Amino acid sequence: MDKKSALAALAALGQDTRLEVFRLLVRAGAEGVPAGEIASRLGTVQNTMSAHLKVLDHAGLVRTERAGRVVRYVADMTGFRDLLAYLMEDCCNGSPELCQPVIQAVTCNC
Amino acid sequence: MDKKSALAALAALGQDTRLEVFRLLVRAGAEGVPAGEIASRLGTVQNTMSAHLKVLDHAGLVRTERAGRVVRYVADMTGFRDLLAYLMEDCCNGSPELCQPVIQAVTCNC
DNA sequence: TCCATATATCGATAAATCCAGAATTGTCAG
DNA sequence: CTGACAATTCTGGATTTATCGATATATGGA
């Protein structure tokens, strides 16, 4: 992942509504959630939510699956992984003890 | 970590200069880098950089160590870990295969 | 084709953010 | 105390972003 993509992903997540959307989709798993349901669940008007979903999609954090008229949004964890890798690049080289907490946090639950 | 803190951290990283600062400090390791050197290395005027460092500090992503007149900034990976944990909350419950890529990304290098 | 539903785009306004010049605080040396 | 240096705070202006009403596109059914 390049700098521009990482920046887009972080800026996308650094906004109240979009952060909630991403977490909602992470919890929802592989099935995803229809766009309209995302809007109603988070109490946001439809067109505003559509704009936010576009930002998340463009940032590579979600992907879409169309089924008829309904568009389901699904969290894209590979995009999220790439972001993580970018942020932690050369972390261990500099000082292994510094990134230790991060490893433990991710590995404990799974 | 609560929503407000996560949002602050993501918004802090979702900006060109601050993202570069964080990555610089991650690479620098536990010694950290003086504020002035951060500014000169990234080609930013000092007062602007000071404002960015304040944002990162307030977001819990860096911490400071004063030695005389010089203030060294160090990446705070525990703050970063908390952010990660918040983002991946209940990820595995919903669908274990979804967060698999993230685990692999973090564990491979260390 | 005509209508209803689901989602996306357009346009305008209000709010938040970035940036750099100027001034300020804090620390060390003489 | 004075001068030099490191860093922060203050302030104004320019840019960006969020939000929402209105409109547009797209799909499915009668």
Both tokens assigned to A73: 């949004």
Q: What is the mean pLDDT of chain B?
A: 89
Q: Terminus-to-terminus CA distance in chain A, angstroms?
A: 25
Task: Please count the helices (runs of H) and the strands (runs of E) in chain A.
Answer: 7, 3
Question: Which of A26, A63, A76 to substitute to test the interface with B, most B CBs within 10 Å?
Answer: A26
pLDDT at residue A52 is higher than 80: yes
Does residue A99 or residue B50 have the better pLDDT? Answer: B50
CA-based nearest residue to B26, from A1, A83, A96, A4? A96
Give the list of residues 6+ apart from residue A55 with CB closer than 8 angstroms, or none: A12, A15, A18
- pLDDT at position B25, please? 95
CA-based nearest residue to A102, from A94, A87, A80? A87
pLDDT at residue A98 is higher than 60: yes
Name the percent of chain B lying above pLDDT 90.
69
Going from N- to C-terminal start, the domains of chain B cover: 3-106
CATH 1.10.10.10 fits B3-106, yes or no: yes
Q: What is the mean pLDDT of chain A?
A: 89
Q: Which residues touch strand D (CB under 7 A)?
A: A 11, 15-18, 44-45, 47-48, 51-52, 55, 66, 68-69; B 34-37, 46-47, 49-51, 53-54, 64, 69-71
* pTM, 2 dp: 0.91
φ, ψ of residue A58 in degrees (nearest 5) = -65, -25
The answer to whether residue B110 neighbours chain A at the CB level (below 8 Å) is yes
pLDDT in tens, B25-49: 999 989 999 999 999 999 999 999 9
Q: Is B68 helix (H, G, I), strand (E, B) or coil?
A: coil
* pLDDT band at residue B93 under the 50/70/90 scheme: low
- pLDDT at position B101, please? 72
* pLDDT band at residue B108 under the 50/70/90 scheme: very low
Say if the Cβ atoms of B92 and A110 lie within 8 Å: yes
- Is residue A90 within 8 A of residue A48, CB to CB? The reply is no
Distance between CA A17 and CA B25 in Å, rounded? Answer: 29
Name the percent of chain B lying above pLDDT 70.
86
Query: Alpha helices, DSSP H only, in B14-109?
Result: 16-28, 35-42, 46-58, 77-87, 91-94, 96-107
- pLDDT at position A87, please? 86
pLDDT at residue A110 is higher than 60: no
Name the percent of chain A lying above pLDDT 70.
85
Q: Is B62 helix (H, G, I), strand (E, B) or coil?
A: strand
- pLDDT at position A84, please? 87
Contacts of B3 in chain A (CB under 8 A): 19
Distance between CA A97 and CA B89 in Å, rounded? Answer: 24
- pLDDT at position A108, please? 47
> Residue B9: closest CA among chain A residues belongs to which residue?
A14
Give the list of residues 6+ apart from residue B93 with CB closer than 8 angstroms, or none: A27
